[in-house]
Amino acid sequence: MIEVENLHKHFGAKVAVDGVSFTVKKGEVLGFLGPNGAGKSTTMRMVTGFLPATSGAIKIDGKDLEENEIAAKSKIGYLPEAAPLYSDMTVEGFLKFCAEMRGVPAGEIQSAVDDAIKTTFLEPVRHQSVDTLSKGYRHRTCFAQSIIHDPEILILDEPTDGLDPNQKHEIRQLIKRMGETKAIIFSTHILEEVEASCTRAIIIDRGRVIADGTPDELKAKSSNAGSVVLRAAGLAGSGIKAELEKLSESREVEVLESGDDGIHARILPAKGKSAELGKAVSALCKDKSLTVEEIHVEEGRLDELFREITKSDNEA
């Protein structure tokens, strides 16, 4: 549905987006991750046709965005980052206006508005004027606007910003559910959100895509993926630590707790050895006849990967 190829955006001398490429198919939810100012919003603004690209191609549903602007825009629902609203309208009036602008047939506008209000929990403020709304309601009103015409493509710039934990959960569920039939891009700072609702994620830093994959693939890339947490007794903690460090599969042993008769530690895998580390540790325990109280292999964590790759980039 969305194909982006080698997209560039320059603001004067500043390069905001520097060769971003990705595709999103129907049934996919793509998470955009990246530090502030990385170019996420700028990329989204170009895909929605708000900003013209400096160079590169954007195709919506197989057709070039610039050549078929109106047709492409009618397929997209968009929630801008700032969640802008016309402050002189009521929530319902605003949604009706958007439905009409989006080409919802006159007879279906009321039911489209009712549906959007229901999905985004806006019932209590339906007749309230927009400029008296709290931040969470404002955000949801703008979110409702983006789904009012049941678009095939949804582009959401930080959709859960300003919501309380319950509402965040609901919106994530909603994104996941809608993702089955639509192509969705959403940006976020919250990494658990990516794990909760994305089928794929890309990490953008300083205008470039620096990681692209399913959340699981990305987690596996983090250097802590495959580390083993062990709680064992039978030997002095320092002795166990020394043994663990001797293993060729281990890179580092992080001691969480150490005593005269045991250890609680996280063993980080050596490069490329994350698959074998678990076996090696349990073999060692058998060898030294340690009493294993707890052993488990940790998945990588997205926030670790995020910090690692965006940090190393900044230092470079």
Partner 1 sequence: MDAIIKLLLHFAIPTLIVSVIFIAILNFLLPREVRTIFKRELKSYFTSPVAYVLFVVFLGISSTLSFFFTGVLEGGEADLFLPYFQYLPWYLVLIAPAVGMRLWSEEQRLGTMELLLTMPLAPWHAILGKFLAAAVVLFSMLVLSFPIVWTINYLGDPDNGVIMAGYVATLLVALCFLAVTSVVSALTRSQLVALLVSVAICMTLWLGGLPHVSELLMNLKGGWLIFWPVLKLVNIVGVMPHFTELAKGVLGIRDITFFITFIAFCLFATSVAIRLKRA
148 versus 284: smaller Cβ distance to partner 1 = 148
- Compute the radius of gyration of the chain from its Cα atoms: 25
Q: Which residues contact 240 (CB under 8 A, 6 or more apart)?
A: 232, 262, 263, 265, 288, 290
User: Given candidates 32, 78, 186, 306, which one binds partner 1 under the rule CB under 8 A?
Assistant: 78
Listed ranges 25-33, 69-77, 115-123, 194-202: which one lies at the site for partner 1 (CB under 8 A)? 69-77
71 versus 283: smaller Cβ distance to partner 1 = 71
49 versus 179: smaller Cβ distance to partner 1 = 49
Mask of contacts with partner 1, 134-153, x by CB under 8 A?
A: --------x--x--------
Nearest in space to 40 (alpha carbons), one of 132, 159, 181, 217: 159
Distance CA 180, CA 297 (A): 31
User: Given candidates 40, 45, 139, 200, which one binds partner 1 under the rule CB under 8 A?
Assistant: 45
70 versus 316: smaller Cβ distance to partner 1 = 70
Listed ranges 84-92, 172-180, 229-237, 299-307: which one lies at the site for partner 1 (CB under 8 A)? 84-92
Question: Closest separation between CB of residue 12 and partner 1, Å?
Answer: 11
99 versus 305: smaller Cβ distance to partner 1 = 99
Beta bridge partners of 95: none
Question: Closest separation between CB of residue 45 and partner 1, Å?
Answer: 7
DSSP H helical segments within 60-201, as ranges? 69-75, 91-101, 109-119, 135-147, 165-178, 191-197
Tell me if 224 contacts partner 1 by CB under 8 A: no
Residues in the chain: 316
Distance CA 205, CA 38 (A): 5
Classify each residue of 233-268 as buried b or exposed e, where b means 16 or more C-beta atoms within 10 Å of its C-beta.
bebebeebbebbeebebbbebeeeeeeeebbbbebb
Question: Closest separation between CB of residue 56 and partner 1, Å?
Answer: 15
141 versus 310: smaller Cβ distance to partner 1 = 141
Nearest in space to 71 (alpha carbons), one of 193, 190, 140, 153: 153
Q: Which two tokens stand for residue 269?
A: 């895998």
User: Given candidates 6, 25, 27, 50, which one binds partner 1 under the rule CB under 8 A?
Assistant: 50
Which residue type is seen at 283?
A
Which residue type is seen at 236?
A
Mask of contacts with partner 1, 86-125, x by CB under 8 A?
A: xxxx-------xx-xxxx----------------------
Report the interface residues with partner 1, using CB under 8 A: 45, 48-52, 70-71, 73-74, 76, 78, 80, 82, 84-89, 97-98, 100-103, 142, 145
